[in-house]
Structure 1
Amino acid sequence: MSPLTNDVPGTTPHELPSLGVVLVAAGRGERLGAGAPKAFVELRGRALLEFGIGVVTSLPHLGHLVVVAPESHAAQALDIVEQVLPAASSWEVSVVPGGRERHESVRFGLNALPDSVETVLVHDAARPFASAALFERVITEVRRTGDAVVPALPVVDTLKRVDPEGIVHETVDRAPLVAVQTPQGFVRETLAAAHATAQLQHEGGLPTDDAEVVQRAGAKVRTVPGEQRAHKLTTPADLAILEHFLTANLLGLEAEA
């Protein structure tokens, strides 16, 4: 049941959001070399962040979206929110500055969510074409199980273990391996507690995603099927892949019209 509030005597209680999404848009994108944070790189004149905000706020939920952006681009992020968010949207949206590392940015986003939020999704703005269906798949599984949930794709390439000189030492069994994506979903208390006590000094280095943060804290992480279109912008070569998915989206919309 969604939380209710009735602060003023004689008024009708209204629902508060129980779903929160932290959209991480603070990445510097150094490997991309675009001269701008990844979330603000444009495809056909539209920043990647615009696509992410659009899909989240299209979900049929009463929710709160927190966009975590570089402080230098906070005003631009707010402008994008105003352009994308419909006047009658069931979503509330706020923008907060990011941290020095990804885990800090996520923590800042979590802290900005209202207390009523029970389920949290963390999504990379650099994955602009993750579908609404993927978001719903993650939300459903979190609420069904109470576990952390990540989208995953099977590894299809042959994997080799190499040394620093590039010499192959063995072929790695790919059967138990998957490539994980975002959005990643969590019970809010689980994610907040894990970030509050995050084991950042670890033999494996800094956590690379939120599933690793909660797993280090002892939580169970399960997978749901991911999708190819949730591809992440990392290098210039990824721009061509995202352009392909954008074209496919536009052709799909034309076919529906």
Structure 2
Amino acid sequence: MQSSAMNPGSDDLAPHTLPTLGVVLVGAGRGERLGGGVPKAFVELHGRPLIEFGIGVVTSLPHAGHLVLVVPESHAAQALELVDLVLPERSRWEVSVVAGGRERHESVRFGLDALPSSIETVLVHDAARPFASAELFERVIDGVRRDGTGVVPALRVSDTLKRVDAEGNVHETVDRAGLVSVQTPQGFPRELLEAAYSGAELQLGETASSLPTDDAEVVQRAGGQVRTVSGELRAHKLTTPDDFPVLEHFLAANAAGLESEQ
């Protein structure tokens, strides 16, 4: 299944600049830890599905780009409705919607397959991180285009880390020097990411118990280089119900910022 949405305000007769930037917005997760039976990307925050925020920030970027929404097939129609609602008039962005896979790596691969051939730089972003800023996207884009490597946003680990067993018993303190927590969007030269995913397919089938947890790991397993740029606290990910207050804080901060600009 693949559906497309074009900017309703664009002139079909005018020449279009071929996009070189692609974004795969991954929103096919089932969100089982949240309960409620709603895919995580479509969980609402003050009446708005999380994926709506991601569509908005991506299509606000001042680039000619192609955005692929990877969602459960059952929610494809809703995703297209959100695109029609959010996409700015005369946007330079094209948008496609594709069905996701059983695991995240399958969903990303389906998203990559849906990108047009003109795309040179690809960013993969989790819809469950609704408040990643446009500035963060730009840092990642600039890093990929400057260095020709994979680029991930990262935050230094400030908490003391302990290694524990299944019963919660502490076994040791882990040295946090050199450790970071990474976020999305993660960016790559398209050829690098596609080659890594293509080569990973057989390996993933053989090692189902050790699937990569992000795209950077897929690229690194294939021998590719990944660098970091500064992440941001507001790119927080919804994983459990405990994350809702954090996201509500950033939603309120966004609203306050908009009011101050008016």
TM bucket normalised to smaller: over 0.9
How many residue pairs get aligned? The number is 247
Aligned equivalent of 1:255: 260
Q: Distance in 1 between matches of 2:49 and 2:15?
A: 38
CA–CA separation in structure 1 for the residues paired with 2:228 and 2:36: 33
Backbone CA RMSD of aligned residues: 1.5
Percent of aligned pairs sharing the same letter: 76
Report whether the alignment pairs 1:59 with 2:64: no
Which whole-Å deviations, capped at 9, do the CAs of 1:184-207 have from their partners, x for residues lacking one?
Answer: 000000000111111324497000
Structure 1: which 5+ residue stretches go unaligned?
1-10
**Residues of 2 paired with 1:169 and 1:237: CA distance?**
26
Shift of 1:12: 9.0
Bigger mean CA deviation after superposition, 116-125 or 191-200: 191-200
- Residue 165 (structure 1) shift: 2.5
**1:99 match:** 101
Q: Which residue number in structure 2 is paired with residue 228 of structure 1?
A: 233
Partner SS state of residue 94, structure 2: strand
Distance 1:204 1:178, change over 3 A: farther
Structure 1 residues 204 and 72, CA gap change in structure 2 (3 angstroms): closer
Corresponding position: 1:19 with 2:21? yes
TM-score (norm 2): 0.91
Report the counterpart of residue 220 of structure 2 in structure 1.
215
Provide the C-alpha distance between the structure 1 equivalents of 2:165 and 2:241, rounded to a whole number of angstroms: 26
Alignment partner of 1:77: what SS? Answer: helix
Out of 13-22 and 38-47, give the one that drifted further.
Answer: 13-22
Query: Hey, what does 1:174 align to over in structure 2?
Result: 176
Residues 26-81 of structure 1: per-residue CA shift (max 9 Å, x gap): 01001111320111011111111110000000000000000000001011101101
Q: TM-score, normalised by structure 1?
A: 0.93
* Counterpart secondary structure, 1:31: helix
SS at 2:210 equivalent: coil
Q: Which segment is superposed worse, 15-24 or 32-41?
A: 32-41
Q: Distance in 2 between the 1:14 and 1:133 partners?
A: 25
Point out the structure with the larger helix share. Answer: 2
1:161 aligns with 2:158: no
Structure 2 unaligned residues grouped into runs of 5+? 1-12
Structure 2 distance, partners of 1:215, 1:229, is 26
Match for residue 7 of structure 2?
A: none
Superposition pairs for residues 76-225 of structure 1, below 5 Å? 76-198=78-200, 199-200=203-204, 201-202=206-207, 205-225=210-230
Q: Please tell me the residue identity of whatever aligns with 2:49.
A: A
The residue aligned with 1:7 is none
Q: Please give the secondary structure, in 2, of the residue aligned with 1:60.
A: coil
Q: CA deviation digits over 1:201-248, x for unaligned, max 9?
A: 449700010000000000011100000000000000111110110000
Q: How far apart are the structure 1 equivalents of 2:92 and 2:16?
A: 12
How far has the Cα of 1:164 moved from its partner? 2.2
Distance 1:12 1:128, change over 3 A: closer
